[in-house]
Amino acid sequence: MIETRNDELVLWTMRLIILMARVCVCVFTCPPNSQCKPATNWTRNCPANSGAVTLRTSLRHEQARSELTAWVGPGTAVYVNPICSQLDQLLLKCEDSESVLALLVTHRGVFFVHNLVTAIQVLGALAEEASDPIAVNRLLRDPRYDLLVRDLSRFVPKLDFLAMTNVACSLQQLDHKYYTLLSRMLRPLLDQTVPDVATLLRCIQAYSWAGYHEQHNFYAHFAGLLAEAVPGLPPQQLVQACILFGGASQYQTRFFEAAEQALLSRGMENLTAKQVSLVANSFTAHLRTCHDGLLSCVADIVEREAAHMEVQDIVRCLGAFRRVALRHEDAIRAGLEACSAPLHRAWLLRQRADGLRTADVAALLECAAYFGIQSHLDQVALDYLDDRVDEVSEHASIQAVYAMCVSGGVSTHSRLLLYLFRKIGAGTAWEGEKMRVFHLWMCQHLQFPWLDARLKRRCLEAGLRAWVLHRRGYGCPFPDEVRDVSAELAEMRVSHRTFVPVAETPYEVDIAIGEGKNALLVISETARNTLHPVGSILLQMKHLEARGWRCTVIPRQAWRSLATGPSGARESYLRSLLAGFEDMPRS
């Protein structure tokens, strides 16, 4: 009899709770000035003597805590049911994650969906303040936390855009990539109304952190919304949006065009050096060639302000120029000169350069070598890498060896060359640089055959295949254009030979003028703004010049454009090239 009454009491209690849940509605609103941004730049392993970093971190924690308090405090949210408000206040009073997890169990019967969102926000804030990876790992393995995220997954259809953003940002604070919940919120996010730009950027940032870079509908939808809001965005939010969409795999034409127009109309001078470098890196992330005007403004800033810029910012800007093959020589030289002083100082003191990794040093060397620009940085950077060769990755080794082959560092830093060459093929980074690795193998046979190191066979086979496909065979890469040039030279009655093999090399001279070693090479690897040869063509020219050939290049794009020009344009162009051979020193 007693058991029956207890069962009836439990049944009536559950019915009452369900009735209250149906009647009570929580209205989610966000304070007008509250952005509730997660501290995404938090580094858990902070140096003990970094007072400024500690101060910024504590201020960020206080701001996050105050924003969380404001979101659920009286006067900023309207609660139809007082129980929902009381539960939020109880959650805010918790000083550790154990208290929050205990409330999830003891008060589970009266929790609203709003309280679930508050609970995971509090857990994220507490975990970030504690900065204890072991404690966070213990929290993520707790069954009560698993129950919380499962409940949130069940009630995703009941969440609005702000609530889903807070959940995603809390998972980021906890460093928990719970893909079941994140994927479940993707489609509802597209159907909800976006409250403000700050919340939208927080949402995109959380999903970018979680690795959602291929969700084209997600980024396309929000890119359209941000493109309309770009004219009114402050510089900080505009730069942040560029970074986020630059990290996506698909190029968002509408947003980047609107962002470029806004940046150029306002003037890039209003941005900090770091923001300028981040903008340049974002606009070149998809290898699009339609933002040359913006990059020209970036080049002007680098040329003018390089001495006052951080080395990391210079590396980003020069990397952006190299990525889209824009040769801004004055800006590149100014950037390299600004980077050489701190590198030389660090090498003299046998210390690590502040804020500069060995990968950044290798990237600087590769950028200068790619455009064929010689500077004082070459020797300084190689000396620096020689002291820290153990820290150089495989990808950085490929870049550094390529730069040494172009600049002549193989003769001045033979020990560094040996150590770096041995790293190529040891990992998987070479798979993204197959053709360059094959070029380095050719450089070994032509420039430093004495090196006691050999590339892996798998690297050579894949590299040869990539090289042949790129050049359309083993011979001349553009035979049709070479025949056109030959026909034009024949009409000009200029003695020449075509497709001349070069002994003891894999190369073939496209056109040899007369009986000497004056060569015309039809190439496609040129800087887009100056038509200077870049990349592997510089290596080929260096190898041919070492064997007595005097090389002049014919950009394929320029030659084909002359076909639609005025009559005699090609003849005049060739005469100007042939006149250059008379001024060249003879071997």
List the chain pLDDT tens, one digit each, 587 residues.
Answer: 444 445 555 445 555 444 444 433 333 333 333 333 333 333 323 333 344 434 445 545 555 555 555 445 444 445 667 888 888 889 999 989 999 999 999 988 888 999 999 999 999 999 988 888 999 999 999 999 999 999 999 999 999 999 999 999 999 999 999 999 999 999 999 999 999 999 999 999 999 999 999 999 999 999 999 999 999 999 999 999 999 999 999 999 999 999 999 999 998 888 999 999 999 999 999 999 999 999 999 999 999 999 999 999 999 999 999 999 999 999 999 999 999 999 999 999 999 988 889 999 999 999 999 999 999 999 999 999 999 999 999 999 999 999 999 999 999 999 999 999 999 999 999 999 999 999 999 999 999 999 999 999 999 999 999 999 988 888 889 999 999 999 999 999 999 999 999 998 999 999 999 888 999 999 999 999 999 999 999 999 999 999 999 999 999 999 999 887 677 889 999 999 998 887 544 44
pLDDT confidence of residue 567:
77
pLDDT confidence of residue 83:
87
Phi-psi region of 516 (alpha: psi -120 to 50; beta: other; left: phi over 0): beta
pLDDT confidence of residue 56:
46
pLDDT confidence of residue 383:
95
pLDDT confidence of residue 131:
85
pLDDT confidence of residue 1:
43
Question: DSSP string covering 476-496, please?
Answer: -S-HHHHHHHHHHHHHTT--E
pLDDT confidence of residue 68:
58
CA distances from 344 to 305, 385, 396, 568 (A): 20, 11, 19, 53
Pairing of strands 550-555, 518-523: parallel
pLDDT confidence of residue 273:
94
CA distances from 551 to 32, 325, 327, 496 (A): 66, 21, 20, 14
Tell me the average pLDDT of the chain.
Answer: 86
Q: How far apart are CA 401 and CA 423, in angstroms?
A: 11
- Model-wide pTM > 0.85: no
Walk me through the domains of the chain, giving residue ranges and CATH numbers: 22-38+54-212 (no CATH), 479-583 (3.40.960.10)
pLDDT confidence of residue 473:
84
Residue where the block lists tokens 């066979």: 457
pLDDT confidence of residue 452:
92
Nearest to 295 by CA among 345, 260, 266: 260
Element (H, E) at 512: strand 508-513
Element (H, E) at 86: helix 82-92
- The separation between CA 52 and the C-alpha centre of its own chain, rounded to angstroms, equals 27
Helical ranges in 428-555 per DSSP H: 434-446, 457-471, 479-491, 536-545
Kindly state the tokens that stand for 49.
């003597």
The answer to whether 380 and 343 have CB atoms below 8 angstroms apart is yes
